[in-house]
Every structure is written in structure tokens, then in C-alpha cells.
Chains A and B, each alone.
Chain A
Amino acid sequence: MDSEGVKKAIIQATLQETNTANARALIEGITGSCFEKCVPKPGTSLSSSEKTCMSYCVEKYIASWNEVNGTYIRRLRQGAEGNN
């Protein structure tokens, strides 16, 4: 492997690690928040209404993450401009 190949391997492995870490954090957030929301009193199995709630909740949580991330980044940019 030459320098270019080593560099590319490092970049690819790094991106894979950060994507996995990001996905894991998102799953952790979804599971915690949606379990709390949709399964207030755990029974002997998940009911169909709990399952429906979970499926809506997963979509909503991802949409929320996108909304929060977008607002946060916009705000960081404004702050950066204000400092210039």
C-alpha cells in the first residue's frame, strides 16, 4: 500500500466508526424515549397499540433529531458570524 492507500484506509475506517457511534447514540435515544412514551406499564407482551405507538415514535424521534440538529447548526453559524 502506498501513502494514498494508507490515507484512504484511515479515512474510510474513521468514517465507519463515527457513523456507527452516531447510529448507536440515535438508537439509544429512540429506545429510551419511545419506551418511556409508548410502554408506560409493561405487560406480559407488547400490545398492538404499543407496537403502533413505537413505530410512530421512531419516525417522530428521527424527525426531531433532524429538526434539533438543523436548528443547532444554524445557531452555531449565527454565533460564529457574530464573533467575526
Chain B
Amino acid sequence: MSSSLALDQADIEKLNDKDKAELRQFFANEEQKSKIQSQSHALTSLCWKKCMTSSTFKSGALDGSEKACLANCVERFMDVNMATVRQLAGMGGRH
């Protein structure tokens, strides 16, 4: 991909401490945002398979039951995720 960034080492060295700290915070936020977005992509793909059961689409809008199914799908996935972590943590000493 073409990037608009054309900086060299000399440019980087111009950064003062305040801007370095700001950039560090910016990267931390962006990393968090990226993780959430990428999990949303995975969940959409997973929940789409479970919730879009009609054989053809008659409109581009989500109907109420599809919306509810998607929300439930995400919520229950998170429940399962947490339950798994809890169970594995409980197994700790036994394996």
C-alpha cells in the first residue's frame, strides 16, 4: 500500500518529549481501537452465519429479529469466552 509518510531518522529526532509522549498515547489508543475493530470483524462473520437464516434478502435493512439475534450472539459469545477462561483458570493445579 502506498503511504503518505515520508520521514527519515532526522525528522524523528526532531520530536520533543511532549510530542513523543502524545504519540505514545495516540499509539496506545489506536492499538486498542484496532483490537476492538478486528474482534468486531471476527464476531460479525461468526454471528452473520448464525443470524441470517432466510434464503433470500428482501431488503438491505436489518429486521428486529436479526438485530436481536446479532446482539444475543455477541453477548453469549462473551459469556462463553469468560466461562472458558474461568474454567481453565480453575484447572490450574490439576494439569
Contacts and interface: CB of A to CB of B under 8 A. Distances in A.
Interface residues of B, number: 48
A58 B44 CA distance: 13
B80 interface: no
A10 B15 CA distance: 11
Contact of B7 (A9, A55, A58, A69): A9
Given A1-B11, A9-B4, A38-B57, 4 more contacts: A9-B5, A9-B11, A64-B66, A68-B47
Contacts of B47: 64, 68
B3 A13 contact: yes
Contact of B22 (A7, A49, A61, A63): A7
Contacts of A71: 70-71, 74-75
B57 A69 contact: no
B47 to A, nearest CB: 6
Contacts of B67: 67
Interface string A1-36: 111101101111111111011100110110011000
Contacts of A76: 36
A32 B33 CA distance: 24
Interface in B16-67: 16, 18-19, 22-23, 26-27, 30, 33-34, 36-41, 43-45, 47-49, 51-52, 56-62, 66-67
B83 interface: no
B89 interface: no
